[in-house]
Amino acid sequence: MKNTSDHYAHTIVDYVKSVAIIDPSQTIPLDESLLEAGILDSFGIVEMLTFVESKFDLSIPDEDMTKDKLGSIRRMAQYVHQRKAG
Amino acid sequence: MSDVQICAKCVLPSTFPNITFNDNGVCSQCEAGEMTHLQKFNQRQRDEFQRIIGATKGKKPYDAIACYSGGKDSTYMLKMMVRDFGLNVLAFTLDNGFITEQSKSNIIKVVDILQVDHLFFKPSSQFMTRMYRQAIIGDLNKPRGNYYTRISDVCLSCISVVNTCAARLAMQNRAPMIFAGFTPGQIPRAVIKNNHLYYRQTYSLHQSHFQQQLGEEAGRYLNLPEDEYEMYQMSPFLVYERSEAFILDEIRELGWQYPEQLDGCTSNCALNVVGNICHEIIYGFHPYALELSKLIRKGLLARDEALQKLSLTVDEHVTQRAFVKLNITVDEVNQLNTRAA
């Protein structure tokens, strides 16, 4: 699974579970905005993007900061996968 | 509280959400370690921070708005802005009604020595009291989703007004940057562009929530004009990491003096202690435990110092005065532990 989109999604989920100040029984959705799902606040979203950039050694340009590209964990994982593959 | 375990490396307690401890008493957040490419990320942050200063400096009457609370961190930040970065700065202080006299005296001295233009903004005390009361007793900052607030409810409401004032001042003056003295434990990035992912969207969610809770008057302090002006939120302490001892040493020459009668986690605001007490009652952990733990992991604060900060008590009369000023009774405080449920 290493370096596949699923691998990246799994890593991001693990990160969210470890840092989100939430009830431990809360499920982390893959296809929903974590902001809208009430998992992270706006600070948490910025922190998660910081994690993605530093963990996967990427710099995300402003023009890619869109809901389409990064609006859920799955989209984020696909974005990382495409960037790493390209 | 005697059976609460504290991490052997940082100061996160066993009451912190989702935390676990290994056999050595080290918490899961310490165990997670650093991110793989953190060094490279930090270098990119430094480059970006310097690039933005270089690209924006000298193009407008004010290069930057400084959120200047009068505390030690923002005082040192102001000194850096003027003396290290050579910026033309408009500093402002939100007088929330709880800035100590010593802090006000520090502010006046420091802006004078640094020759910085400065504004005090004091919102209606009636509104601020209502906002703080609603933050503590009511639903102003009750978790809107499933997360808990990472700072105290009182601080969260106050910082919302500060951020709005800063953004308005930047828009009015076409200043390209807003500087704030957030520590590396308080904010994750050194540079945030105002159109960053969800920035505007979350801002408007926040705004409408405040207006629902506090009425139209909240708009006076929390609405942003329709303006596409782009600016950068700059947090220099993420790029230039400084220890508290270093900062205190650096600001002494500006005549800054440590105010008395404050809790260990603030150097300007007498309301902070109220936020700390209420947060601990509601959520079961100190609101500064997370931030201080991050500073410990970064080597910017010793664990013993952090424990001391968290345990430093304030004269009971001072705390009582703050509660009275907010019109909050002992009974209301005692009932807070039912709120997190």
Q: What is the pLDDT of residue B103?
A: 96
> Which of A40, A46, A53 lies nearest to residue B41, judging by beta carbons?
A53
Q: Which residue has the tokens 């509601």?
A: B282
Inter-chain residue contact B145 with A37, CB threshold 8 Å: yes
Distance CA B322, CA B28 (A): 36
Q: What is the pLDDT of residue B339?
A: 65
Interface residue B187 vs chain A (CB under 8 A): yes
Q: What is the pLDDT of residue B203?
A: 67
Sign of the dihedral through C-alpha B53, B54, B58, B59: negative
Confidence of residue B271 (pLDDT cuts 50, 70, 90): very high
Nearest to A21 by CA among B290, B21, B310: B290
CB B93 within 8 A of CB B99: yes
For B20-46, what is the mean pLDDT?
85
Interface residue A84 vs chain B (CB under 8 A): no
Distance CA B216, CA A5 (A): 46
Inter-chain residue contact A18 with B146, CB threshold 8 Å: no
Residue B119 has pLDDT above 80, yes or no: yes
Best of B27, B35, B205, B207 to mutate (most A CBs within 10 Å, chain A)? B35
Nearest to B191 by CA among B230, B238, B229, B233: B233
Kindly list the residues from chain A whose CB atom is less than 8 angstroms away from the CB atom of residue B145: 37-39, 41
> Which of A38, A42, A54 lies nearest to residue B38, judging by beta carbons?
A54
Confidence of residue A81 (pLDDT cuts 50, 70, 90): very high
Distance CA B228, CA B174 (A): 11
Kindly list the residues from chain B whose CB atom is less than 8 angstroms away from the CB atom of residue A17: 18
- pLDDT tens column, B131-145: 999 988 887 766 555
Interface residue A19 vs chain B (CB under 8 A): yes
Least confident window among A19-23, A78-82, B90-94, B136-140: A19-23
Inter-chain residue contact A46 with B38, CB threshold 8 Å: no
Q: What is the pLDDT of residue A18?
A: 77
Nearest to B147 by CA among B272, B333, B16, B33: B16
Best of B12, B46, B146 to mutate (most A CBs within 10 Å, chain A)? B146
Position with higher pLDDT, B242 vs A25: B242
Q: Which residue of B has its CA nearest to A51?
A: B35
Which token pair is B339? 């709120």
Residue B94 has pLDDT above 90, yes or no: yes
Percentages of chain B per state (helix, strand, coil), in multiples of 5: 50, 10, 45
Nearest to B247 by CA among B260, B256, B235: B256
Q: What is the pLDDT of residue B186?
A: 83
Q: Which residues of A44-71 are buried (b: 16+ CB within 10 A; e: fewer)?
A: bbbbbbbbbbbbbbbebeeeebeeeebb
Distance CA B142, CA B135 (A): 8
Residue B337 has pLDDT above 80, yes or no: no
Confidence of residue B184 (pLDDT cuts 50, 70, 90): confident
For B29-33, what is the mean pLDDT?
80
Distance CA B82, CA B80 (A): 5
Distance CA A39, CA B30 (A): 22
Inter-chain residue contact B146 with A51, CB threshold 8 Å: no
Q: What is the pLDDT of residue B132?
A: 94
Distance CA A12, CA A18 (A): 10
For B291-305, what is the mean pLDDT?
91
Kindly list the residues from chain A whose CB atom is less than 8 angstroms away from the CB atom of residue B36: 54-57
Q: What is the pLDDT of residue B205?
A: 67
Residue B25 has pLDDT above 70, yes or no: yes
- pLDDT tens column, A21-70: 777 777 889 999 888 887 887 778 888 888 898 889 898 888 888 888 89
Inter-chain residue contact A41 with B202, CB threshold 8 Å: yes
Distance CA B319, CA B217 (A): 28
Least confident window among B84-93, B110-119, B207-216, B240-249: B207-216
Q: What value does the mean pLDDT of chain B take?
A: 89
Report the share of chain B in percent with pLDDT over 70: 91
In which element (H, E) is residue B93 found? Answer: strand B89-94
Residue B5 has pLDDT above 80, yes or no: yes
Best of A11, A27, A54, A59 to mutate (most B CBs within 10 Å, chain B)? A54
Inter-chain residue contact B147 with A21, CB threshold 8 Å: yes
For B272-295, what is the mean pLDDT?
91
Q: What is the pLDDT of residue B150?
A: 75
Give ipTM to 2 decimals: 0.79
Interface residue A55 vs chain B (CB under 8 A): yes
Q: Are strands B89-94 and B117-121 parallel, antiparallel or unpaired?
A: parallel
Q: How many residues does chain A have?
A: 86
Q: Compute CA distances B253 → A51, B84, B93, B106, whole Å.
A: 38, 15, 21, 12
Q: Which residue has the tokens 């005090």?
A: B120
For B231-257, what is the mean pLDDT?
94
Instruction: Please tell me the distance in Å from A84's CA to the nearest CA on chain B.
Output: 14
Instruction: Please tell me the distance in Å from A67's CA to the nearest CA on chain B.
Output: 8
CB B268 within 8 A of CB B100: yes
Inter-chain residue contact B198 with A20, CB threshold 8 Å: no
Interface residue A25 vs chain B (CB under 8 A): no
Q: Which residue of A has its CA nearest to B200?
A: A42
